[in-house]
């Protein structure tokens, strides 16, 4: 009876821990969404499919097959988002990511992205204050290293995605000569 109780408790605890999510991962994923990174990956997927459709044009692949393959775009973006978390973990703490989110959601940054010439003095000061903060200085210092890591991740991810789509097309009988 005691063993059964212990096994049951371990099972419940295991299930509970699986159901919980890591706040760092969730926060970085949110940051990647608001800073435009995920939009870039979605655009890369769209561009890849445009290229593939041109390369396979003579095969007259039905639109339903393309739609099926492109229907996995959200999953592919989620995959790369999960991989990118590790790159951020190498440079930033959870608190840093939270500070970056506050900055990216600020009116000052939105105005800077829309039209720098219309920044108010207060907004300019807010931007300067952020980049002079510990988090802002980390962003500046890590820019090259993070960009290199993101580039390596992107290259691996896009190559794997491309091969995966080619493989799925081959399974359906469509192979490039």
Residue 176's pLDDT is what? Answer: 84
Residue 20's pLDDT is what? Answer: 57
Position of tokens 């295991």?
Answer: 14
Residue 86's pLDDT is what? Answer: 92
DSSP string, 78-141: HHHHHHHHHHHHTT--HHHHHHHHHHHTSHHHHHHHH-GGG--HHHHHHHHHHHHSHHHHHHHH
Class of residue 112 by CB neighbours under 10 A (exposed 0-12, middle 13-18, buried 19+): middle
Q: Which domain holds residue 102?
A: 22-171
CA distance 129 to 82: 30
Does residue 2 lie within any of the structural domains?
A: no
Any idea of the CA torsion for 141, 137, 30, 32, to the nearest 10 degrees?
A: -30
Residue 21's pLDDT is what? Answer: 81
Does residue 13 lie within any of the structural domains?
A: no
Does residue 1 lie within any of the structural domains?
A: no
Name the domain count of the chain. Answer: 1
Position of tokens 């099972």?
Answer: 11
Does residue 54 lie within any of the structural domains?
A: yes
Does residue 15 lie within any of the structural domains?
A: no
Does residue 8 lie within any of the structural domains?
A: no
- pLDDT tens series, the chain, 177 aa: 544 333 333 344 444 344 458 999 999 999 999 999 999 999 999 999 999 999 999 999 999 999 999 999 999 999 999 999 999 999 999 999 999 999 999 999 999 999 999 999 999 999 999 999 999 999 999 999 999 999 999 999 999 999 999 999 999 999 987
């Amino acid at each position: 009876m005691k063993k059964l109780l212990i096994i049951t408790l371990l099972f419940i605890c295991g299930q509970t821990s699986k159901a919980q999510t890591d706040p760092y991962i969730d926060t970085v994923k949110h940051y990647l969404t608001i800073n435009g990174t995920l939009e870039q990956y979605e655009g890369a997927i769209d561009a890849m499919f445009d290229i593939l459709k041109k390369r396979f044009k003579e095969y007259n692949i039905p639109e339903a097959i393309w739609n099926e393959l492109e229907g996995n775009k959200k999953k592919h973006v989620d995959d790369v988002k999960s991989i990118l978390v590790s790159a951020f973990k190498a440079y930033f703490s959870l608190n840093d990511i939270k500070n970056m989110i506050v900055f990216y959601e600020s009116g000052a940054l939105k105005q800077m992205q829309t039209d720098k010439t219309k920044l108010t003095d207060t907004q300019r000061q807010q931007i300067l204050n952020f980049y002079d903060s510990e988090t802002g200085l980390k962003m500046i210092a890590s820019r090259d290293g993070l960009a290199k890591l993101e580039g390596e991740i992107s290259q691996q991810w896009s190559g794997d995605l491309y091969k995966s789509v080619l493989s799925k097309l081959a399974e359906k009988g469509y192979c490039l000569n």
